[in-house]
């Protein structure tokens, strides 16, 4: 199935509101740019009427322009290969494609081919999650990566010494891509990619660490489940939301029993660490 990319030009304050509204009607990935943002949704869920209604609702708050295009697997790959540059995160992690040179001077080298998945490390939320992972002891731990995308966080967990990583995503090609990237990074024996949402965890024992880089609404909806699936004393890393949403995420997390530890901010995006009480 293809994606629809909705490109929106809007002032920052209004863009944040529009992102929240679009998330309510099924848009599940957002990328900021200098003029506004892009939002992505499966083609069969795209409704021009929904978009027009949302945009009309906020006409008086600022000038907004928008259009959309279909992104096929082939077009996504071509665009990505044309524009993707190697990335260094926290001076310790190299994120690159197979056709880029390795960085033996860095502690971690992650090779990613995204296909139709999101999560090359270039989006602020992924970079923030990787940075936060570096501060968490993964050695010998069993890790859950919810909304795994390309599997980049799962690969990072394996490289940090995790004993086992379950990477879960709702899109079939994303789960396949995560499995491929695990093989590309020689951690296929550690990383299991699974298709599904939070219900795919039924029957699983609690995890030592949970990584959840999804979006605000999914995080809020699934917060009680995260509490069930995290061992006492274990950390949970969240991202996929804006700085102004942190208070709402924190309130839901604390209601579920988690304790706030810290958060990082980059270009209005947040990654926060909470912990299950021991």
227-255: pLDDT as tens digits: 999 999 999 999 998 898 999 999 999 99
The share of the chain scoring above pLDDT 90, in percent, equals 63
Its CATH class, for the domain covering 117-275, is alpha beta
- Which pLDDT belongs to residue 159? 97
Q: 89 pairs with which residues across the strands?
A: 93
Mean pLDDT, residues 68-75 taken together = 77
61: left (phi over 0), alpha (psi -120 to 50) or beta: alpha
pLDDT band at 173 (very low <50, low <70, confident <90, very high): confident
pTM of the entire predicted model: 0.77
- Which pLDDT belongs to residue 115? 60
pLDDT band at 71 (very low <50, low <70, confident <90, very high): confident
pLDDT band at 142 (very low <50, low <70, confident <90, very high): very high
pLDDT band at 1 (very low <50, low <70, confident <90, very high): low
- Which pLDDT belongs to residue 99? 80
Q: Is the pLDDT of residue 59 over 60?
A: yes
- Which pLDDT belongs to residue 76? 57
pLDDT band at 277 (very low <50, low <70, confident <90, very high): very high
78-102: pLDDT as tens digits: 665 666 678 899 999 999 988 888 9
The share of the chain scoring above pLDDT 70, in percent, equals 92
Q: Is the pLDDT of residue 33 over 90?
A: no
Mean pLDDT, residues 175-194 taken together = 94
Is residue 198 a contact partner of residue 146, using CB atoms and an 8 Å limit?
Answer: yes
What HEC string does the chain produce?
A: CCEEEEEEECCHHHHHHHHHHHHHCCCCEEEECCCEEEEEEEHHHCCHHHHHHHHHHCHHHCCCEEEEEEECHHHHHHHHHHHCCCEEECCCEEEECCCCCCCCCCCEEEECCCCCCCCCCCCHHHHHHHHHHCCCCCCCCEEEEECCCCCHHHHHHHHCCCCEEEEEECCHHHHHHHHHHHHHCCCCCCEEEEECCHHHHCCCCCECEEEEECCHHHHHHHHHHHHHCECCCCEEEEEEEEHHHHHHHHHHHHHCCCEEEEEEEECCEEEEEEECCC
Mean pLDDT, residues 23-31 taken together = 83
User: CATH topology of 3-71 equal to that of 117-275?
Assistant: no
CB atoms within 10 A of CB 138: 21
Q: Where are the domains of the chain?
A: 3-71, 117-275
Mean pLDDT, residues 131-148 taken together = 97
Residue indicated by tokens 């570096």? 134
The CATH code of domain 3-71 reads 3.30.70.860
Cβ-count burial 64-76 (b if 16+ within 10 Å, e if not): bebebeebeeeeb
Distance of alpha carbon 152 from alpha carbon 163, whole angstroms: 16
pLDDT band at 35 (very low <50, low <70, confident <90, very high): confident
Q: 165 pairs with which residues across the strands?
A: 143, 191
pLDDT band at 62 (very low <50, low <70, confident <90, very high): confident
pLDDT band at 74 (very low <50, low <70, confident <90, very high): low
CA torsion sign for 20, 21, 22, 27 is positive
196-219: pLDDT as tens digits: 999 999 999 999 999 999 888 899
């Amino acid at each position: 199935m293809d994606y629809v990319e909705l490109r929106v030009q809007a002032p920052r304050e209004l863009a944040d509101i529009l992102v929240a509204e679009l998330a309510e009607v099924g848009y599940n990935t957002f990328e900021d740019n200098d003029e506004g943002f892009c939002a992505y949704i499966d083609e069969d869920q795209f409704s021009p009427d929904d978009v027009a209604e949302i945009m009309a609702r906020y006409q008086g708050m600022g000038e907004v322009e928008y259009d959309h295009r279909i992104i096929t697997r082939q077009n996504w790959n071509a665009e990505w290969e044309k524009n993707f540059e190697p990335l260094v995160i926290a001076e310790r992690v190299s994120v690159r494609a197979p056709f880029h040179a390795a960085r033996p001077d860095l502690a971690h080298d992650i090779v990613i081919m995204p296909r139709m998945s999101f999560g090359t490390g270039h989006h602020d939320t992924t970079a923030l999650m990787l940075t936060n992972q570096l501060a968490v002891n993964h050695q010998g731990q069993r890790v859950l990566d919810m909304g795994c995308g390309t599997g980049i966080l799962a690969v990072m967990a394996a490289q940090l010494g995790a004993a086992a990583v379950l990477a879960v995503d709702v899109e079939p090609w994303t789960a396949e891509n995560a499995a491929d990237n695990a093989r590309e990074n020689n951690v296929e024996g550690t990383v299991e990619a699974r298709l599904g949402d939070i219900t795919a965890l039924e029957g699983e024992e609690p995890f030592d660490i949970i990584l959840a880089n999804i979006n605000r609404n999914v995080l809020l909806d699934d917060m009680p489940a995260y509490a069930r699936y995290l061992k006492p004393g274990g950390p949970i890393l969240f991202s996929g939301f804006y700085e102004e949403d942190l208070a709402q995420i924190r309130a839901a997390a604390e209601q579920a029993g988690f304790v706030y530890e810290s958060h990082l901010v980059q270009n209005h995006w947040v990654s926060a660490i909470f912990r299950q009480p021991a």
